[in-house]
Every structure is written in structure tokens, then in C-alpha cells.
Amino acid sequence: MASAPASPSAHRPLPKAELHLHIEGTLEPGLAFALAERNGVTLPYATEDALRRAYSFTDLQSFLDLYYALMAVLRTEDDFADLAHAYLARAKEQGVRHAEIFFDPQAHTARGVPIGTVVEGLARALDTAEQTYGISTRLIMCFLRDQSAASALETFEAARPHLDRITAVGLDSAEVGNPPSKFREVFARAREAGLKCVAHAGEEGPAAYVWEALDVLGVDRIDHGVRCMEDERLVARLAAEQVPLTVCPLSNVRLRVIDDLADHPLPEMLDAGLLVTVNSDDPAYFGGYADDNFTAVRDALGLGAETLGTLARNSFRASFLDEATRARYLAEVDAHEAGAQQE
Ligand code: ADE
Ligand code: ZN
């Protein structure tokens, strides 16, 4: 007997890893107002709708201004734990099985929130993530590239007592004018301490910053990296070395890195043999979580099931998981595809 066709509402998201996700970028307006009230913080917006109306960005800096301003509501360990729980609940619905989560300690320590409050609050939620949400997790501590190299070094030293909670260091915030080479020393120190390294590069900044992230910082992955497509030699290198690129399509459109999702270079990147993954970046601000990004590129770029499967597999291949867990998740993608064929 033929089975009934799956209804559009029965969409079963592909199992996937999310490798480019700023936890502070998951702060939804509802939670922002709840935390503001809990902490006695006054937001410069009367209502959630008024706040949402501010989510119209002209470039990366216009987003960062609001992103840092809203962080004023994050003050206690409970706040950071609640933020992470809210993300994990959304991520589970989106088929995320593994999440490597960025946080920006300097954005909190600058407001007088100790780094231990941030890390321990996040870690408290992540410690329950496997059991509660079926999601394995890692933490990636990012340095703000528009702050000084000395501030990054100071932040790294303040984080030393918490390094058992941290898998990698990253580099984010305003890219243009703040090249990776500015952070050579802190990345060397992180590598010496056994941490993995990633960096945002080639989002708004030039392809030259991707070269620097590879050659000066020795990164294991490039975050965004879409502007690599302007440099043929760089594309050849990234493909030959299978350096993962954590691409964020909805972010690219909202921050005007790309005019229209239909013009996104994702298909050309895949055709060039790059190890591309699809991620949400700051989903509360950019209109979609992990699977929303998969669905958006499927629809705008006409990607077929095989390509979506490749993107899901790439996400696990590009992760910092141990080999046994990676293999288990890859088998889940196989099983998902086999199930989809029978529907
Ligand atoms: N911090 C949060 N989101 C970011 C992005 N898309 N680029 C650089 N820094 C960020
Ligand atoms: Zn990012």
C-alpha cells in the first residue's frame, strides 16, 4: 500500500552540526525583556515589536552596535544558562545534533561581569544538553578583533582556570581594519595550551585576511570566508587542504555581504570542492536558525536533496568531534536519507 505523501508541515530536519553560532546572537526579544526586568535594566525600546523594528542592518557594524547594546541584560550565571537553554531548545527542533558555540567574554567583562560567570553559566546549561536535548556541545571563546591585542592576551589569561570547558579560540567583531595578524601572539598561546583555532575572515574583509588566518594564526577553520571566491589561488588552497568554511547565508543577506540569497556563492563554493557548512551566526537577529538556513538556500538556490545531504555531512566532518562520535552522526544522516527515500 502506498504511504500517504508527507505533508509540508511534517518536515523532518536533517541531522546537522552547527559550527558558527554566537550564543549572544540567540538572544530573542522576549528573553531580552524578561532578563531586563529580572536585572532592573532599562532597554531603549518600549516593546518587543519596537526592538524588532531595529533589526534592519546596513552592514556588520550596524548589527554589532545593537548586538553589544542588548547584552546589557546578561548579568548572572542564571542569565547565561537561560540563554543557552533557550538556544538548545530551538536547535533541537532544527535537527542540530552537535553545536560548537561561540561566546564573547570581552563584551561581558567590559561591563563588569566576570569571565567565570559567563563560562560557568553557559557550561551549566551545556552540561545537561546531551541528556535534555540530545545535543553534544563545545565552547569556542572569541576575541573581539576591534579591541587591542593586549586585551585579547589578558582575556586568554583570565580564562586559563576555565580552559577545561573551552575547545577552541575564535576571532570576531568588526573585521575591516583588524587583520588576523594583530592576534598572532594570543593564537600561538592558545595553540600551545592545546586549543583549536578558528577565525572570522573574508566576511566583509578581503581574501588577504583568509590567507593571514591560515598562515599567521594557523586556524583549523575559517568562519564565513565567502570572499575567498575573489582569489583563485586561495580557493585552490582551501580545497586542497579541505579547510572548513562555516558559511552563514541568512546572515550574509541581512548584513548586506550578499545582495540577494539567490546570488549567494554557496553553489560555486561547493563546485570548487570547498568543505562548506551552513550555519545561523546570530539567529535571533538574522531571521532563522540552522535548519531555516538549510531551507532558505534550498529554496533560493534550488539545491537538491543530495547537496543538502552533503552540507549536513560536511558539518560533522568539519566539527571538532572525536572520530567515533562523528561516525555515529554521519550514520544518522545516512539513515535520515534512507528514511526520506521510503516516504
Ligand atoms: N559577532 C557576532 N556575529 C558576528 C559576525 N557575523 N561577524 C563578526 N562578528 C560577529
Ligand atoms: Zn559570526
Q: Where are the domains of the chain?
A: 13-342
Measured by CA distance, the residue closest to atom 1 of ligand 1 is: 173
pLDDT of residue 154: 98
Alpha helices in 21-160 (DSSP H): 29-39, 48-53, 60-70, 77-93, 105-109, 115-126, 129-133, 149-159
Q: Is the pLDDT of residue 70 over 80?
A: yes
Of 63, 25, 21, 52, the C-alpha closest to 257 is 63
Catalytic residues: 203
Ligand 1, atom 6: closest residue by C-alpha: 281
Q: What is the mean pLDDT of residues 115-139?
A: 98
pLDDT value at 94 more than 50? yes
- How confident is the model at residue 25, as a pLDDT? 99
Q: What is the pLDDT of residues 246-277, one digit of tens each?
A: 999 999 999 999 999 999 999 999 999 999 99
The predicted structure's pLDDT at residue 120: 98
Task: Identify the nearest ligand to the CA of 107 by its number.
Answer: 1
pLDDT over 90 at 206, yes or no: yes
Q: What are the pLDDT digits (tens) for 208-253?
A: 999 999 999 999 999 999 999 999 999 999 999 999 999 999 999 9
Which pLDDT score is estimated for 3?
Answer: 43
Rounded Cα distance between 142 and 187, Å, is: 11
Q: What is the mean pLDDT of the chain?
A: 96
Ligand 1 atom with the shortest distance to the CA of 203: 7
Pocket of ligand 1 (CB under 6 A): 22, 25, 60, 67, 172-173, 200, 203, 251, 281-282
Q: Which residues have a Cβ under 8 Å from the Cβ of 219 and sit 6 or more positions away? A: 180, 187, 197, 198, 199, 201, 213, 243
**Residues 4-49: tens digit of each pLDDT:** 444 544 689 999 999 999 999 999 999 999 999 999 999 999 999 9
pLDDT of residue 11: 85
CATH 3.90.1150.10 given to domain 13-342? no
pLDDT of residue 1: 38
pLDDT attached to residue 269: 98
Give the three cell numbers for residue 45.
Answer: 525600546
The ligand 1 atom nearest the CA atom of 22: 2
Tell me the per-residue pLDDT of 291-336, one tens digit each, with 9 for 90 and over: 999 999 999 999 999 999 999 999 999 999 999 999 999 999 999 9
**CA 248 to ligand 2 centroid distance, Å:** 8
Work out the average pLDDT over 163-173. 98
Q: From the CA of 144, how far away is ligand 1's center (Å)?
A: 9
In which region does residue 287 sit, left (phi positive, over 0), alpha (psi from -120 to 50) or beta (all else)? left
Segment 76-95 mean pLDDT: 98
192, 189, 103: which is closest to 140 by C-alpha?
103
Confidence (pLDDT) at 342: 81
The predicted pLDDT at position 4 comes to 45
Cell 515589536 belongs to 49
Q: What is the pLDDT of residue 343?
A: 76
Q: What's the rounded Cα separation, in Å, for the pair 207 and 230?
A: 7
